[in-house]
Amino acid sequence: MVPMPTPASAGKQPAGPFTPRDFQLVLLRRMADHNPGLVEDARRELGASLAQMREANRRWQAMLRSPRSRSAASLPHGLNGMGGARIRSVLGEPESAVPRRIGDLECEARQWALPLWPDLRFEVLVADNGAVWNEWLVRAPGAHGPELRTLDDLTPWSCTVDEAARAFAPARPLQGSAPTRWGLAFTAPDARGQRHDVVAEFTWGLLQRTAVSDH
């Protein structure tokens, strides 16, 4: 016997496929805490409302909490439950996929182009069992990165984690406040050459803000 719809579900339309546009809205939702103005401009570029951004994030979180994702709980520390197959189902075939070794980890680095950031690529490091080890925005192959020399160059969305770490080496990685966030501690000069201690915060690998103190 087919159950009658409840008042809460009556008339509710089934959700469509989760698209690359939705995925970009998820990335923006995580960045909104630090740079609401930049996020609002990007959201409008995608032609999406604030409600649509929230809905995309809600659906993404539901995907993360699905039984298939929770089954990855026994994976080594650092692996999340999305899995390489699910990322591919959202973004399609990667633009590139090359083997990479990071310490003792053998993985495949897959990269996708996203319209919001044409000079960047969304990179996913996928282990042999299909689980995702890391996922963030990196500079696109062949694209010119920013010239990072002073504090004035460290503006929101100007650089990626690895670019800042190389420009102001040695940089010390810091634990982020969420799985999609990273931090770096380093020293950098101001326009007059005076050096300062800097803590830079990144979301999805993209610089969001810096905190500066006298060196």
Q: Where along the chain do its domains lie?
A: 20-64, 72-139, 151-214
Phi-psi label, residue 76: left if phi above 0, alpha if psi -120 to 50, beta otherwise: beta
Helix (H) or strand (E) holding 25: helix 20-31
pLDDT at 68: 56
- From first to last of the 215 residues of the chain, give the pLDDT tens digit: 444 444 444 444 556 889 999 999 999 999 999 999 999 999 999 999 999 999 999 998 888 776 654 444 333 333 344 456 777 888 999 999 999 988 888 899 999 999 999 999 999 998 887 778 889 999 999 999 999 999 999 999 999 999 999 999 999 999 887 778 999 999 999 999 999 999 999 999 999 999 998 75
pLDDT at 186: 97
Residue 212's φ and ψ, nearest 5 degrees, are -120, 140
pLDDT at 65: 78
Distances 187 to 33, 97, 146, 149, 192 between C-alpha atoms, Å: 25, 34, 18, 11, 14
Q: For the domain bounded by 72-139, which CATH number is listed? A: 3.30.1450.10
- Per CATH, 72-139 and 151-214 having the same topology is answered yes
- Give residue for tokens 């009556």: 10
Contact assessment for residue 83 and residue 55, using Cβ atoms and an 8 Å cutoff:
no
pLDDT at 71: 42
pLDDT at 126: 87
Fold for domain 151-214?
A: Beta-lactamase Inhibitory Protein; Chain:B, domain 1 (3.30.1450)
pLDDT at 83: 55
Residues whose CB falls within 8 Å of the CB of residue 92, separated by 6 or more in sequence, listed in order: 20, 112
CA distance 213 to 151: 11
Greatest C-alpha distance within the chain = 77
